Amino acid sequence: MRELPSNVDADAVIKVGCYLDDHAKTTAVSISEALGVIRRHINGPSISDSGLEELIMESASTRHLAILLDNR
């Protein structure tokens, strides 16, 4: 995984990691579902939706998980 920009909230990175670690390996990660779940656990809008999408996709690809691009 690449170096994270300094403006990315560490809490968001941790929540994305926890979400993906708990995700089933045999089903694709739904971007829209992941955004909703992770947004509920992050305090405040510390990262934009597009930034969070990018973080989810990069983290999922690092874990070799399939990604369902179903947002918007």
Instruction: Read off the pLDDT of residues 35-64 as tens digits, 9 standing for 90 and up.
Output: 999 999 887 667 888 888 999 999 999 999
Residue 22 lies in a domain: yes
Residue 6 pLDDT level (bands cut at 50, 70, 90):
low
The verdict on residue 2 lying in a domain is no
**Mean of pLDDT over the chain:** 87
pTM: 0.85
Q: Does a structural domain hold residue 4?
A: no
Which comes out higher in pLDDT, residue 35 or 2?
A: 35
Distance in angstroms (rounded) separating the CA atoms of residues 4 and 36: 22
Cα separation, 9 vs 52, whole angstroms: 10
Residue 5 lies in a domain: no
Question: How many domains are contained in the chain?
Answer: 1
Whether the Cβ atoms of residue 62 and residue 26 lie closer than 8 Å to each other: no
Which structural domain, as residue segments, surrounds residue 49? Answer: 10-68
Report which secondary-structure segment, H or E, holds 30. strand 29-30
Q: Within a domain: residue 57?
A: yes
Residue 15, pLDDT above cutoff 60: yes
